[in-house]
Each structure stands twice: as structure tokens, then as C-alpha cells.
């Protein structure tokens, strides 16, 4: 004969629906096991049955009713327990629904309050002005502007953003007192406004010098195609003056250099120099072109002639830095060796961290 399990014993006493009846070592399972083996219950165990409202089991354990009478009564107790459990479940479910509704209502109120606050904030003229100011600064690469420079800097940004040109004083200020805020984005916009102005002036006056000036600015804002198109539109019969023709050659040579057509740039630079031997600009162009071609000796000679004719050392060194940064590893290595041999003090910048990182 097999040994009855806890579940068998619990079912025998009609309490298998109670979790504690089938779990080992619980108070109820221990009581049922004692009754199953006919052992008398302690007063504490009998009181436990009463406290749990297991009246039928209490009467059976104390011998007040027979097992058959217990079976008849247990069905009523089972129904009562089932009803109590269902009531408890419904109550718990109702409480959960109520809490969820309360949380949803609270969340909705908070969202509505946040939305109202946002609308109030965004309708505030001060807030609107602040957001526009931040957007304008970001557009021109400025997260921060020093307070003493703020008012004038914002005025410049508003004017350049509206399509207006900057004044000469503005440009001088940007390249001196506010040089840290003369960002690439702002320089691009400045040169584009200037290029458009001089291009319009050329179309109005047909003066080749306006085309030359426009081309120079187009090059500085990476609009090489626009520069070439404008230069191509200038009729040859307007270039009779040697100075004008030299400027046109030099300017076109710069465009050819930007486009990587170095041989064409070299020929145009030489034409410009032949037309205006005392102008440093063709010499500067030829120095840059020969440096990019790796003709370092030729480049040195042309740069020297440029300085003799008025080109500043600062301008030439800036040109050299640009060429160095754009060169490939082999070109930079050769250029570095040449420059340090020429003048290790003047060209010590090739050893700066900024330039070492490109090597």
C-alpha cells in the first residue's frame, strides 16, 4: 500500500484548495498529518483551526462529529472559502484598477501642466529671443561669445544672416579683437556676401575688377565653379590694360590651382608676372603652385620675389601652412625637411602638435 501524499491527506480532509495544506512543514499540513495518523491535537493547534474558520475540522478533531458528518459540512465551508477568495480577488482587482486610474489621471494632469508651462514659456518674448539667438549662434559655429563682445557679435550675425554685407570696421574688428569668434562658418558667409556683391557690381558695370574681386571671395568660400564662370564671362576686349589683364591672369591662375590644374595655374601666373613684374601677387601664386608641385627651390625663389615686392611674411607663411596641411604624408615629409633647412626658426611651426598630428 502506497504512502499517502500531503495532497492526498489534504483532499481526504477537504482542504486541498488551501495552499498551506499541501506544503510540507506548514502549520496546517502538520495538523492534517497528525489527524491522519490519529494523534490528538494540542490546544494551540485546535485554536489555529478555529482562527482559520475551519470549524468542521475542529469538530472532527475534537470528536464532536463523525467523518461522514464532516464531509457533508465541508462542502459548505468549501463554498464559503471559494466565495471569500473570489470576493478578495475582485476587491484586489478593483483596487488595482482604481490605482491605475489614479496614476493615469495624475500622469495626464502632469502632462497637461507641463504642456501648458511649455506653451507659456515658448510664448514669452524673452524666451523666443533667447532661442533665436542660440539658433543663430549655432548656425555660425558659436556656442559661446565672450560677454564684452556679445552685443556687437550678435549684431554682426543678424546682419550677415539677413544677407547684408559687413562694413570694413566690422571685418577689422573680427580679425583683431574678435578673432576667436571669426569662425569658418562666419568667414564663409562673409566671403559669400562679398562675392555676390562684387558679382552683381560686375553685371551692372561690366568692370573686370569687380569680377576679379568677386572671384577672390568666391574662392575663399569654396565656390570655385562660380568664380570660373564669372571670369569666363568677361570679354577679352575689356582686358586691354596690362594691369587688368595681369590681375585676371593671376585670379584665374588661383582658380586653376584650387581645381588642381597646377600646370595651367603656373602658366597663368607667369603671364601675370610678365604683364606686371612688380606686382607680388603673381609671384605669390607661382610660389604656392611650385610648392604644391614639389618644386621647392622654384617656390622659394618666387616667394622671395613676392616678399621683395610687398607680400607680407605672415601671408606667405599662412599659405605655406595651408599647403602643408593639405599635402599627403610624403609631400609633408619632404616639405618639412625643406622648410627646416631654409629657416628652422621661421618654420618651426611644422613641429607644432597641430601639424604633427597630420604626419
List Cβ neighbours of 307 (8 Å cut-off, separation of 6 or more): 280, 313, 316
Q: Is residue 73 scored above 90 in pLDDT?
A: no
Q: Give Dmax (Cα) for the chain.
A: 135
Domain endpoint, select from 39, 65, 96: 96
- What integer pLDDT is reported at residue 357 of this predicted model? 54
Of the listed ranges 43-57, 150-164, 192-206, the one predicted with least confidence: 43-57
* Helix H or strand E segment including 161: helix 147-161
Write out the three cell numbers for 157: 550675425
Q: What's the pLDDT tens digit per position in 238-295?
A: 888 999 999 999 999 999 999 999 999 999 999 999 999 999 999 999 999 999 999 9
**Rounded Cα–Cα distance for residues 111 and 82 (Å):** 43
- Give 1's pLDDT tier (boundaries 50, 70, 90): low
Q: Is residue 359 scored above 50 in pLDDT?
A: no
Phi, psi for 227 (deg, rounded to 5): -60, -45
- Residue bearing cell 568667414: 187
DSSP code, position 223: -
Write out the three cell numbers for 337: 625637411
In a domain, 285, yes or no: yes
Radius of gyration, alpha carbons of the chain: 47
In a domain, 306, yes or no: yes
> For residue 291, what are the domain limits?
241-359
Q: What is the DSSP string of 23-69?
A: STT-HHHHHHHHHHTTPPPPHHHHHHHHHTT-HHHHHHHTTSS-HHH
Write out the three cell numbers for 195: 562675392
In a domain, 203, yes or no: no
Write out the three cell numbers for 117: 508651462
- Count CB-CB contacts under 10 A for residue 148: 10
68 and 11 in contact (C-beta within 8 Å)? no
Domain endpoint, select from 67, 96, 125: 96
- Count CB-CB contacts under 10 A for residue 211: 27
In a domain, 23, yes or no: yes
- Count CB-CB contacts under 10 A for residue 4: 13
* Helix H or strand E segment including 96: helix 67-122
Write out the three cell numbers for 55: 470549524
**Rounded Cα–Cα distance for residues 239 and 245 (Å):** 5
The pLDDT > 70 percentage for the chain reads 98
**Rounded Cα–Cα distance for residues 299 and 305 (Å):** 10
In a domain, 236, yes or no: no
**Rounded Cα–Cα distance for residues 284 and 248 (Å):** 15
Q: Is residue 122 scored above 80 in pLDDT?
A: no
- Residue bearing cell 577689422: 172
List Cβ neighbours of 208 (8 Å cut-off, separation of 6 or more): 202, 234, 238, 239, 244, 247, 248
In a domain, 305, yes or no: yes
Q: Is residue 355 scored above 80 in pLDDT?
A: no
Q: What is the CATH number of the domain that holds 274?
A: 1.25.40.10
183 and 191 in contact (C-beta within 8 Å)? no
Q: What's the pLDDT tens digit per position in 180-227?
A: 999 999 999 999 999 999 999 999 999 999 999 999 999 999 999 999
In a domain, 261, yes or no: yes
| Nearest by Cα to 252 from 292, 216, 202 | 216
The chain-wide mean pLDDT, for the chain, equals 91
Q: Is residue 358 scored above 70 in pLDDT?
A: no
- What integer pLDDT is reported at residue 79 of this predicted model? 81
- What integer pLDDT is reported at residue 97 of this predicted model? 87
**Rounded Cα–Cα distance for residues 132 and 119 (Å):** 16
- What integer pLDDT is reported at residue 109 of this predicted model? 87
In a domain, 34, yes or no: yes
Integer angstrom CA distances of residue 9 from 4, 33, 54: 7, 7, 16
Write out the three cell numbers for 161: 544672416
Write out the three cell numbers for 225: 565653379
358 and 330 in contact (C-beta within 8 Å)? no
300 and 339 in contact (C-beta within 8 Å)? no
> What is the number of domains present in the chain?
2
Domain endpoint, select from 96, 129, 157: 96
| Nearest by Cα to 304 from 289, 326, 284, 319 | 284
Amino acid at each position: 500500500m502506497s504512502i499517502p501524499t500531503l495532497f492526498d491527506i489534504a483532499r481526504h480532509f477537504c482542504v486541498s484548495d488551501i495552499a498551506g495544506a499541501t506544503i510540507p512543514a506548514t502549520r496546517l499540513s502538520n495538523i492534517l498529518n497528525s489527524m491522519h495518523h490519529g494523534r490528538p491535537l494540542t490546544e494551540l493547534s485546535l485554536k489555529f483551526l478555529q482562527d482559520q474558520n475551519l470549524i468542521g475540522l475542529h469538530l472532527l478533531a475534537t470528536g464532536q462529529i463523525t467523518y461522514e458528518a464532516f464531509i457533508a459540512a465541508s462542502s459548505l465551508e468549501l463554498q464559503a472559502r471559494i466565495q471569500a477568495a473570489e470576493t478578495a480577488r475582485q476587491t484586489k482587482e478593483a483596487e488595482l484598477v482604481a490605482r491605475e486610474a489614479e496614476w493615469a489621471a495624475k500622469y495626464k494632469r502632469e502632462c497637461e501642466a507641463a504642456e501648458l508651462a511649455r506653451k507659456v514659456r515658448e510664448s514669452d518674448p524673452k524666451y523666443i529671443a533667447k532661442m533665436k539667438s542660440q539658433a543663430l549662434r549655432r548656425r555660425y559655429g558659436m556656442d559661446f561669445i565672450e560677454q564684452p563682445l556679445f552685443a556687437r557679435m550678435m549684431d554682426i550675425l543678424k546682419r550677415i544672416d539677413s544677407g547684408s554685407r559687413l562694413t570694413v570696421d566690422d571685418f577689422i574688428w573680427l580679425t583683431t579683437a574678435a578673432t576667436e569668434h571669426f569662425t569658418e562658418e562666419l568667414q564663409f558667409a562673409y566671403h559669400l556676401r562679398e562675392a555676390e556683391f562684387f558679382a552683381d557690381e560686375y553685371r551692372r558695370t561690366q568692370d573686370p575688377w569687380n569680377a576679379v574681386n568677386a572671384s577672390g571671395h568666391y574662392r575663399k568660400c569654396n565656390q570655385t565653379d562660380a568664380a570660373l564662370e564669372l571670369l569666363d564671362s568677361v570679354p577679352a576686349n575689356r582686358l586691354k590694360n596690362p594691369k587688368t589683364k595681369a590681375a585676371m591672369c593671376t585670379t584665374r591662375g588661383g582658380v586653376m590651382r584650387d581645381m588642381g590644374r597646377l600646370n595651367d595655374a603656373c602658366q597663368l601666373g607667369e603671364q601675370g608676372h610678365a604683364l606686371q613684374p612688380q606686382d607680388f601677387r603673381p609671384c605669390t601664386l607661382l610660389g604656392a603652385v611650385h610648392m604644391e608641385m614639389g618644386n621647392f627651390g622654384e617656390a622659394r625663389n618666387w616667394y622671395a620675389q613676392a616678399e621683395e615686392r610687398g607680400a607680407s611674411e605672415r601671408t606667405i607663411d599662412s599659405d605655406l601652412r595651408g599647403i602643408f596641411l593639405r599635402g599627403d604624408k610624403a609631400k609633408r615629409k619632404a616639405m618639412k625637411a625643406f622648410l627646416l633647412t631654409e629657416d628652422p626658426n621661421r618654420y618651426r611651426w611644422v613641429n607644432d602638435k597641430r601639424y604633427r598630428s597630420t604626419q
